[in-house]
Every structure is written in C-alpha cells, then in structure tokens.
Structure 1
Amino acid sequence: MQGDLLAELPAISYVWETPNRRPRRAEWDTPDPANPRRLTPAMRAKLERIVSRAPEVMVKITGRTKGVAHLKSHLAYITRNGELDAETEQGAVMTGRSGLKDLQQRWEDDADLDNKRRRDGSLSINIILSMPAGTDAVVVKDSARAFAIETFGYNHDYVFVQHLDDKHPHVHLTVRSLGQDGRRLNPRKADLQVWRERFAGELRLRGIAAEATPRRTRGRIRKADRGAVMALRERKITPEVDRLAREEVLREVRGGKTTERAWENRIRSRQDAIRQRYLDYAAELQRSGAARDDALAGQIRQFVKDMPAVETRRHVLKRELSELADSRRRSAEQSVNVDRRDDTRRDERSK
C-alpha cells in the first residue's frame, strides 16, 4: 500500500529544479531507476538542507570589461591597487603593486593577440562568489579556488581575490572571455544555476552547510532589486521604476480594475504546486512510522507554513496603498473627533 502511494507522488525534485535546460542532471535530480518516485539519499539530503534553511550561496556576474583600460582598472579595483593578493589559474600569487603591474601587463599582452574580438566584445567576465555573514572566510576562499579550477581551469585564464572588508565573505573572480579552445565564455541563466550548485557543493565538502536553490523553492517569487535601485532608495530618492509602478497601480485602483495578470496566475499555480508537493512528501514520510522520517515531515510542514505570501510587486503596492488610505482615513476621523470634543467644551464653558 505504501509503495503504491509513493509511486503516485510526483518527484520531489520538482520543487528545486529550474525550468532551464542544464548541461547535466545533478545527483539530487536523478531518480532511482527501480522506483522513480522514491526519495534517493541525495534527494533527502537536499530536502533536509532546504527545510533547515541552509545558507544560500551567491554567484553573480557583476559585469564585463570591454577594453584594456577597463580591464586594468578592474584588476586594480579588486586588488585594492595591489594591497590584496591575487591568485591566478596557475596557482601563482601576485602580491603588491609590482604583482598587480605584472598581472595587468600579462592580460594586456594577451588582449592584443585577440584580433578576432568585436569592438564591443568583452575581454573578461567579472564574478562574485559570496556567503552570508559568519561563514568561515578561509573555507569560502578555498571553495572559490576549487570552483574556479573545476569550472574554468582547463580552458580560461582567471584571477581571484578575496575581500574581507564586508560582513559577507566574498571572492572576486575575473575570467578571461576567450578560452584556449578559441570559444568565448557566454554564460546563460542555466549556467549560473550550475555554478551556484557547484560552489555550494565545494562548501559542503569543506563542512559548510550551503545550498543553491532557486527562489521559488523557498516560496519567493520576486527578484531582488538591482543595486542601483537600492542605492537610490537608501538616499531617499524614488527610483523611476518605483514611480512608474505606483502610477500604474493608482490608475488601476482609480479605474476600478482588479483583473489578475495571466503571468500572476501562472506564478500562483506554480507556487500552489510546489507547496503541495512538499506537503505530499511530508505525509508520505510520516506514514513510514520511522522517527527520522516523522521529524523531517514536521520540518517540511513548518517550512511550508513559514513561506511568504504569494505577492507580486503589484500586489505589494496595492496593499501598501490600501494601508496608506486606511491610515489617512483614521487620522481624519481622529481629527474630526478632536474638533467635536473641543466644540463641546467651548459650548459647555459658554453656558
């Protein structure tokens, strides 16, 4: 009976798989050939990390250098003008200003040999690998080194520098766009997810419980705001994107339009499916009667319960607008009540 119920369950990997095609399936995405719906050890381990909220890695492309001057400036920036050591794909450590100049000259010479590059083509791709505050910085650097070797070491020159002047330990990794095979590095969204998973795997090998799940796995549907937008908000300046979004919501409210967007319905449906998938597996785990399974089932249910509401940016703005209107209405009512009390007191004194 239990086996039949398990066979009817959709694979739990649905909740963390990205919709993008990836070069290869990870072990936690690979079903058991004998029973495709069974939780494999790798799937269970990933599920346990997710519901226990293991720290999420960040692997982000911060930009591309388009010319020699730009490249040299970027190398000076990540090394703090030679104050921080830089390590190359060969394991050589470039120290001080002399090391920086040697590195800049080497990359400049190689750039001159790249005569097939388009005028707007990139010389390098700049990446940040980061972990939350409190993570062992030495482990982060060792994991970044291993990640770079595995990802680029056999085809692309690169250099990386660790920064410790921020609460989040992170590594700046600059990779030469042109590979030794003559192909240019052009990472897509699916590649970034693979990179995140690889970096998280290197951290786990070194004792750090790290994960690399897409937002939807954790019930989050909104993308993080761009750094420039966040910087404007911190300076109390309303970004153009915020102004336009508010104007759109105001037009909808004033026009009495409450129609859901098609993409909002798709997001809600997908989140409903993800959350139900978690709960289905929690129920199945609890049926086993094993204490370990029962504990995991409880964690899964609590994880789903704590997931944020499914709200798009438009929904949030509408809610904020409604709360603002309610606040103003209450203030107006309180002001009227105060005026009435004052009038009553004056009338009583005049009698």
Structure 2
Amino acid sequence: MKKIDGVIKDWGERTDYGRVKGRKGKNIVGGRYSKPAPAKAPAGRDKLVSTVRKAPEVMVKITTGRKDPNTGKPRPIMTDMRSIKDHLDYISRNGDVELEDENGHIQAGKEDVRTVRNAWADDGSIPYENGKRREAFNIVLSMPPGTDRASVKNAAREFATELFNNHQYVFAAHEDEKHPHVHISVKAADKDGIRLNPRKNDLQRWREIFAEKLREQGIEANATPRKVRGVVKKAEKQAVRHIDQGHVIGSRKSSSRVSASRREAAELEASGERKHVNPAKAKIVEQRKQVQHDFGTVARTLAAGDKDDKTLAVEIVRFVQQMPPVRTRHAEQVEALQRSSVQSGQTIDRTPEKGRGENKDRDR
C-alpha cells in the first residue's frame, strides 16, 4: 500500500499536476510582496481518480482587450473609471443583475452600479479617462452546463474572499448561458497599494482554489493541466469565436483574421504548395509520450494491488487509450480539405477572404 501511494505521489509530481512552469506573478509595490495561501490539493489517489474518471474541469480566465492594430498586442481593458463603469454596466446587465461587493453588500440597479464606481474612485488613484495601465481585472469562473448555479456562485464568493480580501471587488453570476459562470471585477491596487500582477502560474493556482471551493460545496470539480488529460488544442479565444459565429449567421462580412489565416495555411498545404511547420509539434508529441509513460507506471503498480487497485488500473489504461490523437487544428483542417477535394473531384480553392491578412496565432 505504501509503495502504491508513493508511486501515485510521484505521478502527480512528474506530470506537474497542479503546477505550471513559468514566471510567477508578483503582487508588489516598493519591494513588498503579497503571498496568498496555496490551494489545498485533494489526496493523491483522489486526484488520480478524478482525472481518469473525467471529473468536471473548472475554467478560470482573465479577459483581455482587443488587439492593437499597430502592435498586434491586446489592449488592456478597464484602464480608467469610464471603462470600469462600462464594464460594471456589462456584468450587471445595466443594473438588472445583482452585484455583490467584498463586504457582502448587494448592489442592484443603475444607481448602485454608480455607487460602486464612485467607491472605487474615492482615493483618486484611477483617472477618469485616457488611462494607460490596467486598473481592474475581470476574472471569469465557469463550470460545465448542468452544474448547480447556486453552488458555483457560493464557490466564487469564497474564492474572491480568499484571494482578494484586501481589494475592492464585485461579482455577478450570469444565468443567460448554459454554462454557469461568474464575473469577478477586482480593483488592481489593494488598500495598501499593492497591485495584482497575475501570470500563467497564478491562473493554474486560481483554478485549483476554485475547484477546492466547489468541492467544499459538494460539487465534483478538478483543475488538471491540459496535457495530463491528453488535450492538445487550446480553447478558441472568445473574441475569435464570436466573430466567426457572426460570419456564419451573416452578421459579419468575413471571419476572424485568425481563422482566415489558418484556412489559407491549410489550403496551401492541402494543395501541395507549401507545408505549414508547427514548431510546437515536437514538444507536444514528447509531452504525450511522457504522460502515457507516467500513467503506465501507475497502472502497472496498481495492478499488483487489491481489487480496488486493479479496477483503478484498468480505468487508467482505458483513459490513456481514449486520449484524443496528437493532432492540431491545422492538421484537422488540411485533412478535411483533402477529403472534400477527393469527394467533389475539384481542386482546392485557395482564394483568400477579402480584407484578411496574415496572423501568426494559428498553430494549435
């Protein structure tokens, strides 16, 4: 039993479960640091079981602004009180959806939204307009359709209380989409002037904390890195998805630049003119091999255990067998174009969409 527990613990460490490599964000001003407590991870065996039995995965993201046409980089949002007010109007649906602040007070209606904005502006640290840096963050917490909405809201409340206890913030639970989700808008500078500066590492830790708060509500939730689940493709950015959907229904003249660029690259390869090289492909393949090896080590060890261990070993084998193939969006699009060309007996039309140019964000 001790050997099995040790192997499971090693599995968690080898697969970077709950850890993401990269620079950790620092909440810092004048050399002072703010270090929230780490998430309480479930026991090793519980983590393994949740992963192979595909427990619902939490989603935590920070929304970004539209890309600057000159630099190609996202413009920060909520850089001044005017844009903060606009965003509070959005998440409150112009006062129709309740906002709850850091003190547990409910703000409802347009006048209350204005009150929140004024409270954030009281210290004079945020310009009214033409701000240059991000003064507030919008953090979205969501779960798959069917998850109890009240539990998601309660978990979001506990999440915000733990992470942003020295900040001004409000949150709103939206019920106009199938997946329950909560918007948390938090002032960047806390009451001591220390500013939020989250990085990729922080987002993974936030996922773990949100999953922890959901489990405390009795909701099954997991926060596994994509590679451990065998997921290759990143989720499509919301802005890209909305533009493409608008194109499909006819409300937009063209699809997004990202999608148009991807299609052009796929057409070039499918027609034999130019092969698209994805520099990340080798790394993705190597990661998959390592994940399969690590799961295999755990399964072989469990197979020598008791009845429950043997059952879990079989589940692990099936989980690995059912992992999606290591294929990027580009590869799938090329194959689809080639099949369509064969079935129709026509050559691939490589005419680019009018007004669309190159975009490098297309590899996955």
Query: Which bracket does the TM-score occupy, shorter chain normalised?
Result: 0.7 to 0.9
Q: Which residue of 2 aligns with 1:81?
A: 94
> Helix, strand or coil: the match of 1:113?
coil
Identical aligned residues as a percent: 36
2:151 equivalent to 1:139: yes
- In the TM superposition, what whole-angstrom CA distance separates every residue of 1:203-260 from its partner, at most 9, and x where no partner exists? 0011111011121111111111112222233232433222322333443455576686
In the alignment, what sits opposite 1:239?
Answer: 256
1:62 and 1:126 in contact (8 A); partners too: yes
Aligned to 1:125: 137
Partner of 2:341: 325
Q: Relative contact order (alpha carbons < 8 A, sep ≥ 6): 1 or 2 greater?
A: 2
Matches within 5 A, 1:230-269: 230-234=241-245, 235-236=247-248, 237-255=254-272, 261-269=278-286
Partner of 2:82: 69
Residue of 144, 162, 167 corresponding to 2:178: 167
Alignment-mate amino acid for residue 104 of structure 1? R
Q: Does 1:19 align with 2:21?
A: yes
Aligned counterpart for 1:107 among listed residues 110, 120, 141 = 120
Runs of at least 5 residues in structure 1 that lack an aligned partner in the other structure: 29-40, 332-351
Larger Rg, first or second structure (1 or 2): 1
1:256 and 1:77 map into 2 onto residues whose CA distance is 46
Which runs of no fewer than 5 residues in structure 2 stay unpaired?
A: 25-34, 65-76, 249-253, 348-364
Per-residue CA distance 1:288-325 (angstroms, 9 max, x = gap): 1x111111111111111111000122221221222122
Pair 1:3–1:186, CA change in 2 (3 A) = closer
SS in 2 for 1:66: coil
Give the aligned partner of residue 312 of structure 1.
328
- With over 3 angstroms needed to count, the CA separation of the structure-2 counterparts of 1:261 and 1:284, relative to structure 1, is same
Equivalent of 1:95, from 105, 108, 124?
108
Contact 2:78/2:135 (<8 A) preserved:
yes
Q: Secondary structure at the match of 1:129?
A: strand
**Segment of structure 1 superposing worse, 89-98 or 272-281:** 89-98
Q: CA RMSD in A?
A: 2.9
Look up the match of 1:341: none
Equivalence map 1:190-269=2 (5 Å): 190-234=201-245, 235-236=247-248, 237-255=254-272, 261-269=278-286
In structure 2, what is the Cα distance between the partners aligned to 1:167 and 1:305?
30
- Please give the per-residue CA displacement for 1:151-193, whole angstroms capped at 9, x wherever unaligned: 011x211111111122111111000011222221111111111
Alpha-carbon separation, structure 2, partners of 1:68 and 1:25: 32
Deviation at 1:74, TM superposition (A): 1.2
Structure number with the higher helix fraction is: 1
Q: 1:256, 1:124 → 2: CA distance?
A: 47
When normalised by structure 2's length, the TM-score is 0.78
Aligned counterparts of 1:57 and 1:114: Cα–Cα separation in 2: 32
* Equivalent position amino acid for 1:146 in 2: E
Which secondary structure state, in structure 2, belongs to the residue aligned with residue 280 of structure 1?
helix
Change over 3 Å in CA distance of 1:281–1:66 after alignment to 2: same
